[in-house]
Amino acid sequence: MNAAFTTGKELQKMDPVFGQLSFDDHEQIVFCNDKDTGLKAIIGIHNSVMGPALGGTRMFNYANEWDALNDVLRLSRGMTFKSAITGLNIGGGKAVIIGDAKTQKTPELMRKFGEFVHSLSGRYITAEDVGMETADMDLVRDVTPYVTGISESRGGAGNPSPITAYGVYLGMKAAAKQQFGSDVLSGKKVLVQGIGHVGESLVDYLSKEGAIVTIADINEEKLAEVSSKYQAQIYRGEDVYTADVDIYAPCAMGATINNDTVYKINAKVIAGAANNQLADENVHGAILQERGILYAPDFLINAGGIINVYAELAHYGKEEIMRKTENIYNTTLEIFDFATANNLTTHHAALTIAQNRINQRKIENSTK
Ligand code: NAD
C-alpha cells in the first residue's frame, strides 16, 4: 500500500496512472469530459469487494489535472477503508470535478456528471463532498438513481455533515480518554481548522460541552460569523500548527500533517474530519507516535457522513444512523488498544483491521 501525497510536478515524472504513488490497485478510473457544460471529472473506483463503490464528489479548483487525479486516487482508497472499518457493505469510490464550485457549477454540469455516473450502472454511487450541496445531488438524481445524500423531501437522508461532525466529536472524546484519562472536553483547548459544513457543526458540539475553541479558516466572513455565534476565538498567530492547544481538529483539506508541519504541532491529540490528513501515512503517522501525539485515524472518526448516506441504500432510519455513528467512540478505543498491542501506529492499526475484513469478504465471495 502506498499513499503518499505527491505534487503535480513530481507526478509528471512518473507513469501517468498505474505508476502513480497514490495508485493502490484501483479497479477503475473513469475520465469524464463534456465540452458543452465544461465538465471535467474523474471517477475513481478503488475496491468493490465489500459492495458497490460509494463516495462523494468533490468540486475543487485544482492547480492541475495531476493534482485532481492524485486526489481522487487517495480519496477513493480512503473510502474503501472507511466503509470496511465501519462495517458497511460497500466498497470505496470517489469523484472529483475540476473547477471552481462557486463560479463554474451549473445545473447542466451536475446533470451531465450524473449521466457519467449512470453509465457505470451502479458500480459507483455518488454523494456530496467539498464544493457540493444536497441540492446538487438532487440534480444528479434527475438523471440517475446511483446517488445518495439527496434531500429528505426526495426520500434522501439529507445533509450528512452534522452526522459527520457528531462522529468526529465522539472520536475526539475517545482520543481524549486515551490520552488524558478522561473524555470530558470541557476546559480543553481545541483548534478547529476549517469551519465549513462539518467544522462549524463540530464547533457547536465542542462549545456546548465547554471546550475552549479556537477557529482558523481562509474565509474571513465565515470566521467572523462562527466566532460570534459560538464565542470561539479566531486564531491570529503566525503559524496555526504551533498553536498552544490540547487538540487539533483538521476539518479543511487533506495532507495538513506533512514534512513542514509534523514537528511543529503542539497538540497532544489530533482528531478531525478532513480526509487523508497524513501526507504520507507511512512517515507522518510514525512521527506523531514518536512525538507522543495521539492520532485518531481520519477515515475512522469521519465515517458519520457515509453512515448517513448509506442509510439511503440499506434503508435504515435516523435511529440506526445515530447508533452506528455512536459506535465510532468504541471503535476508536478498540483501534487504540489494537495499535498498542501490535506496536502499530493508530492509522496502520485501523488499516489492518479494515484490510482483514476485506480479505475475509473476498474469500466469502469466492466460495459463494
Ligand atoms: P466545506 O467545504 O464545507 O468546508 C471546508 C472549510 O475549510 C471551508 O470553510 C474553507 O474555507 C476552509 N478551508 C479551505 N482551505 C483552508 C485552509 N488552507 N486553511 C483553513 N481553512 C481552509 O467542507 P466540509 O464538508 O466541511 O468537509 C471538510 C473536510 O471533511 C473535507 O476534507 C471533507 O473531505 C471531509 N469530510 C466531510 C464529510 C461531510 O460529511 N461533509 C464527511 C467526511 C469527510
- Per-residue pLDDT tens digits of the chain, which is 368 residues long: 445 666 666 666 666 666 666 788 999 999 999 999 999 999 999 999 999 999 999 999 999 998 999 999 999 999 999 999 999 999 999 999 999 999 999 999 999 999 999 999 999 999 999 999 999 999 999 999 999 999 999 989 888 899 999 999 999 999 999 999 999 999 999 999 999 999 999 999 999 999 999 999 999 999 999 999 999 999 999 999 999 999 999 999 999 999 999 999 999 999 999 999 999 999 999 999 999 999 999 999 999 999 999 999 999 999 999 999 999 999 999 999 999 999 999 999 999 999 999 999 999 999 87
Q: Which residues are registered as beta bridge partners of 202?
A: none
* Ligand 1 pocket test, candidate residues 54, 83, 198, most atoms within 8 A of CB: 198
Supply the pLDDT for residue 368: 77
Report the separation in Å between the CA atom of 222 and the middle of ligand 1, taken as the mean of its atom positions: 12
Please give, one letter per residue, the 3-state secondary structure of the chain: CCCECCCHHHHCCCCCCCCCCCCCCCCEEEEEEECCCCEEEEEEEEECCCCCEECCEEEECCCCHHHHHHHHHHHHHHHHHHHHHHCCCCEEEEEEEECCCCCCCCHHHHHHHHHHHHHCCCCEEECECCCCCHHHHHHHHCCCCCECCCCHHHCCCCCCHHHHHHHHHHHHHHHHHHHHCCCCCCCCEEEEECCCHHHHHHHHHHHHHCCEEEEECCCHHHHHHHHHHHCCEECCCCCHHHCCCCEEEECCCCCCECCCCCCCCCCCEECCCCCCCECECCCHHHHHHHCCCEECCHHHHCCHHHHHHHHHHHCCCHHHHHHHHHHHHHHHHHHHHHHHHHCCCHHHHHHHHHHHHHHHHHHHHHCC
Phi, psi of 364 (to 5 degrees): -60, -45
Question: How many CA atoms lie within 13 Å of 13's alpha carbon, on the beta-carbon side?
Answer: 5
Active site residue 94: yes
Query: Each residue of 83-96: b (16+ CB within 10 Å) or e?
Result: bbbbebebbbbbbb
Contacts of 120 (CB under 8 A, 6+ apart): 30, 43, 45, 146
Supply the pLDDT for residue 2: 46
Which atom of ligand 1 lies nearest, measured to the CA of 273? 30
* Ligand 1 pocket test, candidate residues 71, 170, 217, 277, most atoms within 8 A of CB: 217
pTM recorded for the entire structure: 0.93
Return the residue whose CA atom lies nearest to atom 32 of ligand 1.
Answer: 274
Report the separation in Å between the CA atom of 17 and the middle of ligand 1, taken as the mean of its atom positions: 27
* Ligand 1 pocket test, candidate residues 60, 128, 129, most atoms within 8 A of CB: 129
Angle CA 79–81–84, to nearest 5? 105
Task: Take residue 35 and report the three cell numbers written for it.
Answer: 465540452
Burial of 16 (0-12, 13-18, 19+ CB in 10 A): exposed
131: left (phi over 0), alpha (psi -120 to 50) or beta: left
Q: Which residues are registered as beta bridge partners of 216?
A: 193
Distance CA 244, CA 241 (A): 9
Return the residue whose CA atom lies nearest to atom 29 of ligand 1.
Answer: 274
- What's the sign of the alpha-carbon dihedral 244, 246, 251, 257? positive
Order of strands, sheet of 212-216, starting from the edge strand that comes earlier in the sequence: 233-234, 212-216, 189-193, 247-250, 269-270, 294-295
First to last CA, the chain: 28
Distance CA 94, CA 358 (A): 18
Return the residue whose CA atom lies nearest to atom 31 of ligand 1.
Answer: 274
Return the residue whose CA atom lies nearest to atom 18 of ligand 1.
Answer: 218
Supply the pLDDT for residue 367: 87
Report the separation in Å between the CA atom of 33 and the middle of ligand 1, taken as the mean of its atom positions: 26
Which atom of ligand 1 lies nearest, measured to the CA of 252? 7
Report the separation in Å between the CA atom of 275 and the middle of ligand 1, taken as the mean of its atom positions: 9
Q: Which of 94, 112, 188, 189 is catalytic?
A: 94
Which atom of ligand 1 lies nearest, measured to the CA of 276? 32
Report the separation in Å between the CA atom of 251 and the middle of ligand 1, taken as the mean of its atom positions: 5
CB 273 within 8 A of CB 162: no
Which atom of ligand 1 lies nearest, measured to the CA of 216? 20
Return the residue whose CA atom lies nearest to atom 21 of ligand 1.
Answer: 217
Which atom of ligand 1 lies nearest, measured to the CA of 131? 2
Return the residue whose CA atom lies nearest to atom 19 of ligand 1.
Answer: 217
Which residues form the pocket of ligand 1, taking CB atoms under 6 Å from any ligand atom?
129-130, 160-161, 164, 193-199, 216-219, 222, 251-254, 273-275, 302, 305
Distance CA 223, CA 67 (A): 28
Which atom of ligand 1 lies nearest, measured to the CA of 219? 11
Identity of the amino acid at 121:
S
Distance CA 56, CA 147 (A): 9
Distance CA 304, CA 235 (A): 27
